[in-house]
Chains A and B, each alone.
Chain A
C-alpha cells in the first residue's frame, strides 16, 4: 500500500521539474515513447507516482534510467506537464538517494553549494601551488599523481558503495531470490550499454545524438587513458602526442556543440537546463580545451612562462574529479548502464 504525500512534488521541484502535476492521466506520453514496453511502462506511471508522492515506489524503480530523454512525451503532452523533464529530475533525485554521502542531493538542489565547492577547490589548488613556490615541474607531477589517486578513491569510496545502494533499493530490498548465474550471464549487458549507450538508438531520430554521445564517451575515456596512463603531458612518443591532440580536440568540439544546443534550445532534450547540466558540459568542454592548449604550450615551449594555464587546467580537473564525477551528472552514465544490467538480471532471474 502506498502512502500519499503531496509534498513530494515540492521536494522534486528542487531537482528541476515543474508543472508535472498538471497531468490528467491521458497516457499520451507512454503511447508516444519509443522505449516503453509491456514490462516497463513509462513515463505516465512515473508521473503518477510523483504526483501521489510514492517515494519508496520510485526509489525501487529502474524506469527513470530506462528513459533516454528524446523529449517526445513532453512535445506531445496536451497538459504541458513535461514528463520528459520529470524523468530527468527523477534521475537526479535517485542519484541523491543512492549517494550515501548525501552530497549529491545538496549539489543538485543548490547552485550556491556547487559554487562554494568549486571556489574551495580552486583556492586549495592555488594554495598548494603557492606552497611549492609555483614550481611547474612539482605541480605537474602532483597533478598527474592526483589523477591516479582520485580515480581510485572516487570509485572505491563513493561510486562503488552507491552502486551497491542502488542494487539494494532496486533488487535486494524486495527480498526476491536472484541466482548468481543471472548476475553472471547478464554482465555482457552492463559493458555493452556502458560503452555504446546503444539504447539511445531506439529513440527515434536520435542517431546523430547517439553518435555524438559515443564519440564523447570514447573520447573522454581515451583522454583519461592518455593523460593518466600514457602521461600525455610528459610524453615524448609522437604517436601518443598526436593521439592526445585528437581526443582532447574531439572532447571540446563535441561538448561545444552540446553547450551550443543548450543555449539555442533547438530540441526538446536541450530545452530545459538544470545547473548540473551546465556544469557537466561546460567542465568537459574546459577540460578538453585546456588539456589541448597545455600540450600545445608544451610543444611550442612556452608553458614555463604560462604556469597559470596549467593551474587552470588542474583546477578544472580537480573540480571535475571531486564534484561532478561523484556527485553530478557524470554518475548517470554509470547508473544507466547498471540499470540496464539490473533489468537484465531481473528478467533472466524470472525466466
Chain B
C-alpha cells in the first residue's frame, strides 16, 4: 500500500485546460488518501517538468506517481522512464488519460468533462495505491533457430541467421531443397533461372558451419516454449550410399519397375521409385522413395550404391525460436472447372511452365503443335462462390511473364488473356506493357460472367463477354487453354498442427498484425516467412524471410529473454484443481502440479500472455493477474462510481 503518491495534472497547453477545469481537479484530488504531492503543469511531458518530477520523487520520498494527461499510447513509457530514473519501479507509475477520453471527447460539456477527469484521476490514484512493484521475468534462451522448409524463404532466412552467429537447423520434408522455385525456369525481372537461385542459396547453406541441413526430415513432436523449444525430428533415409553420378545408378533407375506420376512436373511425366533430383533441385543425388518402393531388389542387383540397411533416425534438437517457411501449394481446379480434366487441352499455369521447360523447338501438347494459347485468369482466387475470396497476387504477373517468355521462345504463338482485370502491381506493370506491345490480346470479364471453355468436335473454344469491347461476345479457337491458378495453403504441414499455429480465413498462417507485426505469430518465438503466410512473389518472400530471421534472432541473440511480468498467478493454497482454468487458457499455459496429496494449477511464466481468460472461470477465485489484482480493480471501480 503506497502512502506517498505524487499527482501531476497537465494543461496540455490548453488541449485539456480549455475544457477541463484543471484547478478544480487539483483541488478535488490533492487530499485523496495517500496523496503526498499534487501539482498542475503546463506540459507534463516537457523536459523541465520531467526533471522536476525526478527531483520531487526523492525529495518528498514518493512511492507512487500518477500523471493525468494524454493517452498512454503517447506517454506511458515516457513517465515510466521518469520514475525509473528517480529510483522507483516502472509499475509504481499509473497513467490517467484526461485528454483523448476527457477534454477532447467532451468538448461540448465543460463541467461534465471536469467531473469525468476528477473520477479518472481518483481511480488512477486508487490503482497506484495498491500497485505492486514487478520485475520482468527472465528466462534463458538457446541460441539456435529451427527453420522449417528449404525453399528460397527457408534457406535465405537460415543464411541470414547463421551469418549473425546463430546455430540453424533446416528441416526439409523432401529429399531435395529448392521448393517451388526449383520448378521454374526464367524468373521475372532478373531473368535468372530458378535453378541458379537455388544453387546459390544451397551453396551458401552447406558452406556455412552454423547451418545443419536435414532433408527427408519432419518434425514429430515439440515441447517447451520461447527460448527453449525441443523438437523431435525424424530423418528418412534415401537408401543410396554415395551421390556420385554413375552409370550404374542410371541402370538402377531404368530397371526399377515402379512408375508413379512425377509431381515435380505436375504429373506430365512419370518417375521411378528410385529417382534423381531434377535440374533446379539439390543436392545432386538419387534417392529411393520409401513409400512406393516394393523392395523388389532389382536396383540392388545392378548398383552397389543401393543400401537398404539404412534406417530412419530420430534426433532431438533444442532451439530458442522456430521459423516456419513451409510454402504453398498450387490450386488444383475442380473437375470440369473451365473444362479441367474433361477437355483434353486444358492445363494449369504451373503445368504450362513445366511443359515449356521440357519442350524444345516447338511447343507441343499431346502431339499437337500449339499456336493459340488462351489464359484464363483468377482460377481458384477471387471466387464469387468458392472459398478462395483472396487475390493471389502473383498470378497476373506470372501468367504475363510466362506468355512473353513463350513468345520469345516460339515466334508462331499468339497469346490471348481472359482476365478479370490485370493486377501487375508495382514494377511488374512493365511486363504488362511489354506483353501488350508484343501483341498479346487482353480481355476482361465481370466476376459473375466468367469465360466459358467449350468443346466442339475436336476443337476447343473459349468464349467471353468482353467488357473492354462494349460487352461484345468474343470467341477463340484455342489450341491450349491455360488456367492461371492461385496459390493455396499447403496441406499436411506437421509443424502447423504441432504448434497450433493460427490460420486466417484464407487458410494461410496468420501473423499478429499485418502491418505492424507481420512475421510474428501469437505463439511466442514462432515466426513465419514466405508463402505459408499468403501469396507472395519471390521478392516479397525474401523480404519476409529476412524480416522473420531478424525477429527470430532477437529472441535468441542474448541467450536470455525478458518477458512482461503482467501474467496470471495461482494461489496454490486456495486452488483445488477443477481444470476450469486449464480449459479456458488459449495458450496452454496452465500446468497441473501434484505435490504429495495436493493438486493445483501453476501458470507457466514464459507461456502466459496475461490475457485474463482464466480469472473469471475460477470458482475459488484463486487466480490473480499481476498489475490488475482484484483489489486494484475494485477500488478503481469504487472511485469511478463515487459521486
A interface, CB within 8 angstroms of B: 1-4, 6-7, 9-10, 19, 21-25, 45, 48-49, 51-54, 79
Contacts and interface: CB of A to CB of B under 8 A. Distances in A.
B436 A3 contact: no
A21 B469 contact: no
The 4 A-B pairs with the shortest beta carbon distances in the complex, nearest first, are A6-B414, A4-B476, A1-B473, A21-B439
Interface centre among A7, A21, A45 (most CB of B within 10 A): A21
B468 A22 contact: no
Nearest to A6: B414
A230 to B, nearest CB: 53
Given A6-B415, A24-B432, 8 more contacts: A1-B472, A2-B475, A3-B474, A19-B437, A22-B436, A24-B436, A52-B474, A54-B474
A6 B441 contact: yes
Interface centre among A7, A45, A51 (most CB of B within 10 A): A51
A39 to B, nearest CB: 13
B331 interface: no
B469 A48 contact: yes
Contact of B441 (A10, A19, A52): A52
B377 interface: no
A54 B433 CA distance: 22
A3 B476 contact: yes
A22 B414 contact: no
A22 B433 contact: yes
B468 A25 contact: yes
Contacts of B338: none
Interface string B469-481: 1101111110000
Contact of B436 (A21, A48, A52, A54): A21
A130 B472 CA distance: 62
B416 interface: yes
A10 B441 CA distance: 13
A4 B441 contact: yes
Contact of A2 (B372, B416, B468, B473): B473
A346 B416 CA distance: 35
Interface centre among B415, B432, B466, B469 (most CB of A within 10 A): B469
Nearest to A80: B437
A48 B468 contact: yes
Interface centre among A4, A10, A54 (most CB of B within 10 A): A4
Contacts of A10: 439
A24 B437 CA distance: 10
A23 to B, nearest CB: 7
A23 B436 contact: yes
Interface residues of chain B: helix, strand, loop or mixed (majority): strand
B433 A79 contact: yes
Given A21-B437, A22-B433, A52-B441, A3 B475 contact: yes
B439 A2 contact: no
A4 B475 contact: yes
Contacts of A22: 433, 436-437
19 contacts: A1-B474, A1-B475, A3-B474, A4-B441, A4-B476, A6-B415, A6-B440, A6-B441, A19-B437, A21-B436, A21-B439, A22-B433, A22-B436, A22-B437, A24-B436, A25-B468, A49-B469, A51-B441, A53-B441
Interface in B427-480: 432-433, 436-441, 443, 463, 466, 468-470, 472-477
Contacts of A48: 468-469
A19 B438 CA distance: 8
Contacts of A51: 441
B325 to A, nearest CB: 36
Q: What range describes how many residues of B lie at the interface? A: 20 to 34
Contact of B472 (A2, A9, A53): A2
Contacts of B466: 52
Contact of A7 (B414, B432, B433): B414
Contacts of B437: 19, 21-22
B419 to A, nearest CB: 11
A60 to B, nearest CB: 14
Nearest to B438: A21
Contacts of B438: 21
A195 to B, nearest CB: 35
A43 B469 CA distance: 12
A172 B477 CA distance: 29
A1 B441 CA distance: 17
Contacts of B473: 1-2
A78 B21 CA distance: 60
Nearest to B374: A4
B156 to A, nearest CB: 35
B263 to A, nearest CB: 34
A257 B578 CA distance: 102
A3 B459 CA distance: 14
A51 B414 CA distance: 12
Interface centre among B372, B414, B440, B477 (most CB of A within 10 A): B414
Contacts of A45: 469-470
Contact of A4 (B436, B439, B474): B474
Contacts of B372: 6
A158 B400 CA distance: 47
A9 B436 CA distance: 12
Nearest to B444: A25
Contacts of B477: 3
A6 B57 CA distance: 82
A100 B477 CA distance: 30
A46 to B, nearest CB: 11
A3 to B, nearest CB: 5
Interface centre among A7, A10, A22 (most CB of B within 10 A): A22
A48 B432 CA distance: 17
A10 B411 CA distance: 13
A127 B58 CA distance: 123
A182 to B, nearest CB: 26
A6 to B, nearest CB: 4
Interface centre among A1, A6, A10, A25 (most CB of B within 10 A): A6
B64 to A, nearest CB: 65
B418 to A, nearest CB: 10
Interface string B413-424: 011100000000
B477 to A, nearest CB: 8
A85 to B, nearest CB: 15
A7 B466 CA distance: 19
Nearest to A1: B473
A149 to B, nearest CB: 46
B475 to A, nearest CB: 5
Nearest to A10: B439
A6 B407 CA distance: 13
Given A22-B437, A51-B441, A52-B441, A4 B416 contact: yes
A54 B470 CA distance: 13
A123 B432 CA distance: 53
A79 B442 CA distance: 15
A25 B432 CA distance: 13
A69 to B, nearest CB: 23
Nearest to B416: A4
Contacts of A9: 439
B459 to A, nearest CB: 12
B630 to A, nearest CB: 65
Contacts of B443: 52
A6 B468 CA distance: 16
Contact of A6 (B439, B463, B472, B475): B439
A7 B416 CA distance: 12
Contacts of A21: 436-441
Nearest to B435: A21
A45 B476 CA distance: 19
Contacts of A54: 474
A82 to B, nearest CB: 12
Contacts of B468: 25, 48
Nearest to B422: A24
A79 B470 CA distance: 21
B81 to A, nearest CB: 54
